[in-house]
């Protein structure tokens, strides 16, 4: 089913590509491995067709993922929050915008009004629930797939098979990296197509050991010290089967945590048998960033939407908690979590 759909979408993408020369890729705020991997991989494929590509990230790429950039790639990437004028110029001069790993423009925050108002052609490649397909000339959206990196790979592979473009080693490594982070190294959302992709990329010569080393064995000490504190003193487990942890700004500073340093913390409480849903809050610039993971049968997506202005996937979602606004002060976060998890999980 998906293959038939992707074949039709690939033909449509090919017609769009034929009429475009300058391309911009965009992705969601706080870009993760999948956002970055799918952007770089897709950019490489566009370049193999002789196109000129700029990758725009709404805000800085975390240090933990920066290994993915080759020196020559770095020069073709822009960070919107730091290079706004250049990014706006690139968006004005391009003739195609490819949106990767997000369902709607609001996920790009500051960039959203510009992207929405832009008269350029727009293509979406995404794997989240409820894509705003009406905002795009072509929306390629699948939820039964591991990652945007896999979806880009599977889609573009059809055209590569027709001799339309090719995958460089840089592209293969980027797709492998994005798929690896979004599946939490093959722990979730791993489907037959995901393993097929991994196998093909290994055949193509991707050095997976190097990727794993970069992704999981290069953290600063503070990450583990902070995790130790959270698990020992700050993890609450409720009778309804929720686990939550709140990391405050003072702690982020104390442990000198960068943007990617708390990646994956939210998954850990799911190891406990009675935990059905895990919530991790990290304080940042006057609000909390909220990550939610759930086991099958409990919807993280509905919970994120109901209480945290968010959404995402059925078992992996995110959102925000504002103060003042949702709660009077950051000190109220735990009480709020106690209330909403009880309300939600006793339904």
Residues that bind Mn ion (CB under 5 A): 34, 101, 147-148, 182
For residue 187, the minimal CB distance to Mn ion (Å) is: 15
Judged by CB, which is closer to Mn ion: 100, or 230?
A: 100
Judged by CB, which is closer to Mn ion: 34, or 173?
A: 34
For residue 38, the minimal CB distance to Mn ion (Å) is: 7
Instruction: Output the CA torsion 119→122→128→134 (10° steps).
Output: 60
Query: Measuring CA to CA, which residue among 269, 286, 333 is closest to residue 307?
Result: 333
Judged by CB, which is closer to Mn ion: 28, or 223?
A: 28
Contact 307, 292 (CB under 8 A): no
For residue 141, the minimal CB distance to Mn ion (Å) is: 12
> Which sign does the torsion angle of CA 171, 175, 176, 177 carry?
positive
Closest CB to Mn ion belongs to which residue?
34
Judged by CB, which is closer to Mn ion: 64, or 341?
A: 64
Judged by CB, which is closer to Mn ion: 51, or 313?
A: 313
Judged by CB, which is closer to Mn ion: 56, or 148?
A: 148
For residue 129, the minimal CB distance to Mn ion (Å) is: 12
Q: How far apart are CA 340 and CA 319, in angstroms?
A: 14
Q: How far apart are CA 102 and CA 129, in angstroms?
A: 9
Q: How far apart are CA 75 and CA 98, in angstroms?
A: 19
For residue 106, the minimal CB distance to Mn ion (Å) is: 16
For residue 198, the minimal CB distance to Mn ion (Å) is: 16
Phi then psi dihedrals of residue 117, to 5 deg = -80, -15
DSSP code of residue 264: T
Place of tokens 């998890």: 341
Q: How far apart are CA 278 and CA 129, in angstroms?
A: 20
């Amino acid at each position: 089913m998906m293959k038939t759909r992707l074949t039709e979408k690939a033909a449509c993408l090919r017609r769009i590509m034929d009429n475009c020369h300058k391309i911009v890729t965009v992705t969601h705020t706080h870009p993760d491995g999948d956002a970055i991997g799918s952007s770089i991989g897709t950019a490489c494929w566009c370049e193999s067709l002789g196109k000129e590509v700029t990758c725009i990230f709404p805000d800085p790429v975390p240090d933990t993922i920066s290994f993915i950039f080759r020196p020559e790639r770095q020069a073709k990437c822009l960070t919107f929050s730091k290079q706004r004028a250049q990014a706006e110029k690139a968006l004005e001069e391009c003739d195609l915008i490819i949106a990767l790993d997000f369902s709607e423009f609001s996920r790009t925050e500051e960039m959203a009004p510009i992207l929405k108002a832009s008269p350029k052609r727009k293509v979406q490649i995404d794997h989240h629930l409820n894509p705003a397909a009406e905002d795009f000339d072509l929306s390629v959206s699948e939820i039964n797939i591991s990652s945007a990196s896999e979806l880009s790979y599977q889609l573009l592979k059809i055209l590569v098979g027709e001799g339309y473009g090719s995958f460089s080693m840089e592209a293969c490594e980027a797709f492998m990296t994005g798929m690896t982070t979004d599946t939490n190294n093959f722990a979730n959302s791993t489907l037959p197509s995901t393993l097929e992709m991994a196998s093909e990329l290994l055949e193509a010569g991707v050095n997976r050991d190097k990727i794993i080393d970069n992704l999981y064995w290069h953290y600063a000490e503070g990450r583990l010290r902070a995790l130790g504190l959270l698990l020992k003193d700050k993890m609450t487990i409720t009778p309804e089967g929720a686990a939550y942890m709140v990391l405050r700004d003072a702690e982020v500073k104390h442990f000198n945590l960068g943007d990617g340093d708390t990646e994956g913390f939210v998954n850990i409480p799911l190891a406990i048998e009675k935990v059905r849903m895990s919530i991790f809050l990290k304080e940042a610039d006057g609000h909390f960033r909220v990550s939610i993971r759930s086991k099958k049968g409990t919807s993280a997506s509905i919970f994120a939407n109901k209480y945290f202005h968010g959404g995402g996937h059925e078992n992996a979602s995110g959102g925000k908690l504002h103060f003042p606004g949702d709660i009077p002060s950051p000190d109220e976060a735990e009480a709020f979590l106690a209330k909403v998890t009880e309300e939600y999980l006793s339904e």
